[in-house]
Amino acid sequence: MRRKIVAGNWKMNNTLEEGIELAGQINDLVENTEINDVDVVIGTPFIHLTEVNKVVGEKIGVAAQNCADEKSGAYTGEISASMIKSTGSKYVILGHSERRTYYGETNEILVKKVNLTLENGLAPIFCIGEVLEERQAEKHFEVVKSQIAEGLFHLSAEEFGKVVLAYEPVWAIGTGVTASSDQAQEMHAFIRKTLVEQYGEEVANNTSILYGGSCKPSNAKELFENADVDGGLIGGASLKAEDFMGIITAF
């Protein structure tokens, strides 16, 4: 059966020292709180990966927020999937809307990143989601389906089984506006149906689909109660240990 996952995305926040401190606080809370069978993930900037992996115990997995679309070589400033793997990290967040929007990340580029992530034994947390204009034009299902199909449907069922999906309506990211519980469930059910058509019931039922976009302790419970919402990808509220913990314990 699919896993429940709460993953933090620190984005471009925290110096190394601050990140080590925050990871330590989260780890202490996770170690000392009864958690309802939830996988906890922290997505940090690259420079934190090694140290944060040393700070956290077995109950927390560490994620990078991106990786290079090439294996190795003359790509100044890039960080490869194998380098991420060597830090002890387990996940890579891919296709976040901020990367699609500000850094021109296309589905074509994402295919290469997904492949390299999987080849290196890392699990992609693959982000999808529509912008406000697309929702207003009632194109949100179509947009999300094409992001999934173009970025992931080249994978075999076995490979796809390692992927975590994160539905993040772009209009809800960092805006304080959350998708309603019904809007989240409606889209998550649509995504699972799309997976059934491509890979069958078993793979679809085993895929964790996270919700992201202004998720906080006050609304996490209502979102997570939905049958097809398997957790959250948390930006702002993952920068404070207590808030992040409030979301983890919302299950």
Nearer to ligand PGA, 134 or 199 (CB): 134
* Minimum CB–partner distance for residue 180 and ligand PGA (Å): 15
- The single residue among 56, 92, 155, 234 that binds ligand PGA, judged by CB under 6 A, is 234
**What distance in Å separates the CA atoms of residue 218 and residue 246, rounded to the nearest whole number?**
8
Q: Record the tokens describing residue 218, joined without a space.
A: 């006050």
CA separation (Å) from 9 to 25, 41, 65, 159, 175? 16, 9, 7, 24, 15
- Residue 105 binds ligand PGA, judged by CB under 6 A: no
* Minimum CB–partner distance for residue 200 and ligand PGA (Å): 29
The string of DSSP letters for 73-116 reads SS-TT---HHHHHHTT--EEEE--HHHHHHS---HHHHHHHHHH
Nearer to ligand PGA, 212 or 217 (CB): 212
- The single residue among 215, 220, 223, 241 that binds ligand PGA, judged by CB under 6 A, is 215
By the 8 A CB rule, do 60 and 41 touch? yes
* Minimum CB–partner distance for residue 231 and ligand PGA (Å): 12
Active site residues: 96, 168
What DSSP state is assigned to residue 26? H
- Mapped onto helix, strand or coil, the DSSP state of residue 72 is coil
* Minimum CB–partner distance for residue 239 and ligand PGA (Å): 9
Residue 143-182 contact track with ligand PGA, rule CB under 6 A, x = bound: -------------------------x----xx--------
- Residue 212 binds ligand PGA, judged by CB under 6 A: yes
Whose CA is closest to 216, among 161, 175, 183? 175
Residue 238: HSE in the Cβ half-sphere, 13 Å Cα cutoff: 27
* Minimum CB–partner distance for residue 173 and ligand PGA (Å): 4
- Residue 214 binds ligand PGA, judged by CB under 6 A: yes
- Residue 250 binds ligand PGA, judged by CB under 6 A: no
DSSP bridge partners of 4:
38
Interface with ligand PGA (CB under 6 A): 9, 168, 173-174, 212-215, 233-237
